Amino acid sequence: MAGPATRLDSIFVRRLRLPIRVGVTAAERARLQFVLLDLDLRVDLGRAGVSDDLSETLDYGAVTSGVAALLEGMEVQLLERLAQAVAEFLLAQDGVVEVTVSVAKETPPIMEETSGVGVRIVRTRG
């Protein structure tokens, strides 16, 4: 007899644009830069899908405000550290079992033209 099916539900946030001091060089850290975050949070949405009740799901408004508060005043050298801090915050939210965090710099310190460079990490609770 098969066990209960695993839900593959997720809540996502795209292109959350936030200012932070990030970079290896002093010139990069001398000013705030905007980073773009894409967040994918694995969470069971079954109860909310039936009840239509916000208390049965993860409030993405609260999540985005929490990430913004986390980054406020933060200074990091690497996008990897920034992504890890965001992932740790998200995994601490009730019901979140896995997160994918993508962070991109709008204006990376490279000569070639690009729409952004960044990192993507996947972290699982436990």
Write the pLDDT tens digit of every residue in 18-33: 999 999 999 888 999 9
Catalytic machinery residues: 105
Query: Has residue 8 got a pLDDT over 80?
Result: no
Q: What is the pLDDT of residue 83?
A: 98
Here the tokens at position 48 are: 């909310």
Query: Has residue 93 got a pLDDT over 90?
Result: yes
Query: Has residue 116 got a pLDDT over 90?
Result: no
Measure the CA–CA gap between 114 and 34, rounded to whole angstroms: 15
Q: What is the pTM assigned to this prediction?
A: 0.90
Higher pLDDT, 114 or 101: 101
- Identity at 85, one-letter amino acid code: A
Neighbours of 23 (CB within 10 A): 20
Where do the domains of the chain lie?
10-124
- Identity at 41, one-letter amino acid code: L
Q: What is the pLDDT of residue 6?
A: 59
Q: Each residue of 38-71: pLDDT tens digit?
A: 999 999 999 999 999 999 999 999 999 999 999 9
- Identity at 2, one-letter amino acid code: A
Instruction: Look at residues 8, 6, 10, 17 and name the one whose alpha carbon lies nearest to residue 93.
Output: 10
CATH number, span 10-124: 3.30.1130.10
Biggest CA-to-CA distance, the chain: 61
